[in-house]
Chain A
Amino acid sequence: MEGKAKEMKQSSAVKLLKEKFPADILEYSTPFGDETLLIRKENIIKILKFLKETPELEYSLLLDITCVDYIGQEPRFELIYHVYSFRLNHRLRIKTKISEKNPFIESSTCLWKNANWLEREVFDMFGIKFKNHPDLRRILMYDEFEGHPLRKDYPLKKRQPRLPGAE
Chain B
Amino acid sequence: MKADFITTKLDYVLGWARKFSLFQYPFVTACCGMEYMSAACAHFDIDRFGAGLTRFSPRQADLLLVVGTVTQKLAPVLRKIYDQMTEPKWVIAVGACAVSGGIYNNYAVVQGIDKIIPVDVYIPGCPPRPEAILDALIKLQKKIQNQPQAWKWREKLKK
Contact residues of A with B, CB < 8 Å?
140-142, 149, 154, 158-163, 165-167
Contacts and interface: CB of A to CB of B under 8 A. Distances in A.
Contacts of A142: 72-73
Contacts of B108: 140-141, 149
Contact of A160 (B72, B111, B115): B72
Contacts, number: 39
A158 B76 CA distance: 20
B110 interface: yes
B107 interface: yes
A163 B112 CA distance: 13
A166 B107 contact: no
B105 to A, nearest CB: 9
A166 B73 contact: no
Contacts of B76: 162-163
Interface in B30-58: none
Nearest to A165: B115
A163 B79 contact: yes
8 closest residue pairs by CB, A with B: A166-B115, A149-B107, A163-B75, A142-B73, A162-B72, A166-B110, A166-B75, A166-B116
Contacts of A141: 72-73, 108
B111 A167 contact: yes
Nearest to B79: A163
Nearest to B101: A167
B75 A154 contact: no
B6 to A, nearest CB: 47
Contacts of A158: 107
Given A159-B107, A161-B75, A163-B75, 14 more contacts: A141-B72, A141-B73, A142-B72, A149-B108, A158-B107, A159-B72, A160-B72, A161-B110, A161-B115, A163-B76, A163-B116, A165-B116, A166-B115, A167-B110
